[in-house]
Amino acid sequence: MLSIARSEVEVRPNRIFSNPYLNDSETAVLVDLVSSVSPRVMVEIGCQTGRTAKTILDSVHTLEAYVGVDVPWDHEPMLSCQRSEIPYTAGLWAAADPRFSVLVHERGSLGVGPQDLEPCDAVFIDGDHSAYAVTHDSNLARAVVRPGGIIIWHDYCNPAVEVTRALDKLYEEGWPIVHVLGTWLAFRRT
């Protein structure tokens, strides 16, 4: 089991964020974690319709570029429970922001390597929730996040998916991953 963050992040439930996949408290924690590294460049693996990207772009003013990675609408995910999460138009909510770009690949992040992304300061992993993809995405993030940056995962402790299994294995291998108590978020500083 991962170590638990008790005071490193502050949950501010009075901040309201509309997102069907992250509750308001998780979104506030995510924004605070991203803000903590004053990122210039961020990557989100599994940007879906871009609600999280829009929220982060509106809230983190140091960002100069934000890259969303996703799949085309007819993609078949490894876990059938994620079929309803495939967006018709990836990144739609954030598309009007000139700092936002989206990389849609038929294999999603599994078709993306470090050469396809610029060095960044923060990566949010919330795409394919199979253990295989989470491990791939974690290694991809580690390859592109600059020192002093952060990698954040969603769905740790969600029993419907394989994120917990993948992150527990990485933790056993020495990754300093921390679970944010009371959320499905986990993170690692670089």
Q: Over the stretch 11-50, which tens digit does the pLDDT of each residue have?
A: 444 454 556 677 778 999 999 999 999 999 999 999 989 9
Domains belonging to the chain, first-starting first, are 3-189 (3.40.50.150)
Model confidence pTM above 0.85? yes
pLDDT tens column, 121-153: 999 999 999 999 999 999 999 999 999 999 999
Q: According to the model, what pLDDT value does residue 7 have? A: 39
Average pLDDT value for the chain: 88
- Cβ-Cβ contacts under 8 Å for 155 (sequence gap 6 or more): 126, 129, 161, 163, 164, 184
pLDDT tens column, 70-100: 987 675 666 666 566 776 688 998 999 999 9
Helix, strand, coil share (%) of the chain residues, nearest 5: 30, 25, 45
What integer is the mean pLDDT of 169-187?
A: 96
Residue 103 β-bridge partners: 69
Handedness of CA 88, 155, 178, 133 (dihedral sign): negative
Q: According to the model, what pLDDT value does residue 3 have? A: 58
